[in-house]
Amino acid sequence: MSERWDRSGFKDRVDTLLADFLSEEAEQLLAIDASLGPVAEQLRVAAAHGKRLRAAFCYWGWRAAGQPDNDALLRAAASMDLVHAAAIVHDDLIDDSPLRHNQPTAHIALRAAVTGHPRAHAAARSLAMLVGDHLMALAGQLFATSGLPAAYLARARPTWSELARELIAGECLEILSTGAPPDAGTSLKVVRYKTAKYTVEQPLLIGALLAGASPGLRVGLSAYGLPLGEAFQLRDDLLGLFGDSDSTGKAGLDDIRGHRPTTLLAKAWEVADLAQRARLAEILGRRDLTEADLHTVRALMRELKAPEQVEDLITARVHEAVHRLDGLGVTAQTRRALTDLAYTATDRDH
C-alpha cells in the first residue's frame, strides 16, 4: 500500500465484497422459493450504505499490530459492517422508524410482500426481524470463512462474543429506559453499550487480536476506541434532532416521538426549569408531532444550550482519543489513519 491510506479505495473494496457476498446469499434464498424475493432484496440492500467505519477500525487494529494489507483480513473486517446492518434492521424495527438513508426501512418495505395477509403489519415486522437475525448470522459466517488461519480466528472469538452480548445489552437498556425521566448517566451507558463499543473499540480489538497484538497495544487501542465510539453516537444524537433529514436520511422527530434516552435530552432536562420541563413533557412520546413541533423542540433545546453541552462532550472525547495515539508505538501511517478516522467518524453531517 502507499504511505497515505486510500480511504475511498478501502470503502470501494468493502462495498464490492459485501455486495457480492449478499447477492450470493440472496440467490441461495431464491433457490429455496421464489416468494422469498422481497426478503432476499432486503438482504441485498441492508448493507448497501455506510462509510465502512467498523470495517476500517478492524482493518487498522490489524495494521496497528504490524500486519500488512490482506484480502482475508478484509473479509473478516467487512463482517463488522454486517453486524451493523443487522443492528440497523433491528433498531429501526424496535423504534418503528420509517426511513433510513431516505429509503423505507426493512419492516416498511416488506409490507408490500404481505398485502392481503390477515395480520399484514405484524407479518412485515416479523419478516424484518428475521432479515436482521440472518444478517447477524451471515456476519459470523463471513468472519469464520474469511480465509484467516483458525488460530488467528480463535484469538478474536471471545471479543466477538462480547461484542454481540454488549450490543444486545445496549439495545435492551435503551428499551428499558425509554419513557423514563431523562438521566445523563443512563443515556451515556446506553451510548456506550448500544453503539460506542461495537462501532470503534471492539472492531479495533478484533483486528488487533487477529494480528496477535500485545496486551499493551490492545489496552491502548481500547483507550482510543471507547471515547471515540461515544463521540460518534453523541454526534448521531445531535444529527437526529438538528440534522437536515435529506442528509441524515432519517425523520427528525424520531427520538422525540419515541421519548428515547438520548444524552441531548438528558442534558436539556438537567438545566430546564419547571416550566421548560413541562413544555418538553408535553411533546415527548407523542405520535402526532408535526414540523412545527420539531421547530419548538429545537428552539427549546437551543434555549437550554443542550446542543453546546453535547458538542463539548464530543470534543473532549475526540481529543482524548487522539491523544491516546501518542503512546501506541504504531507506524506513522497507522497513526494518520486512526487520526483521520477519529475526525471522519465524529465531524459529519449524516
Q: What's residue 1's pLDDT?
A: 42
> What's the CA gap between 257 and 310, in Å, rounded?
20
Question: What CATH number has the domain spanning 7-346?
Answer: 1.10.600.10
- Of residues 281 and 81, more confidence is placed in 81
pLDDT beyond 80 at 245: no
The mean pLDDT value for 289-297 works out to 86
Distance between CA atoms of 225 and 213, rounded to whole angstroms? 15
Q: How confident is the model at residue 350 (pLDDT cuts 50, 70, 90)?
A: low
pLDDT digit string, tens, across residues 163-214:
999 999 999 999 999 888 899 999 999 999 999 999 999 999 999 999 999 9
Chain mean position to CA 165 = 15
Q: Decide: 167 and 198 in contact? Cβ < 8 Å.
A: yes
- The answer to whether the beta carbons of residues 298 and 241 sit under 8 Å apart is yes
Residue count of the chain: 350
C-alpha separations of 136 from 25, 36, 230, 307 in Å: 13, 18, 23, 34
Is residue 2 scored above 70 in pLDDT?
no
Q: Is the pTM of this model over 0.75?
A: yes
- Give 309-344 pLDDT, tens digit per residue: 999 999 999 999 999 999 899 999 999 999 999 999
pLDDT at position 290: 86
- Please tell me the predicted confidence (pLDDT) of residue 251: 65
- Pairwise CA distance, residues 345 & 37, whole Å: 34
Residue 239 has pLDDT above 70, yes or no: yes
- Contact between 227 and 317 under an 8 Å Cβ cutoff? The reply is yes
How far is the C-alpha of 98 from the C-alpha of 249, rounded, in Å?
10
pLDDT of residue 249: 64
**Cα–Cα distance measured from residue 135 to residue 143, given in angstroms and rounded to the nearest whole number:** 12
Q: Which three cell numbers stand for residue 126?
A: 416479523
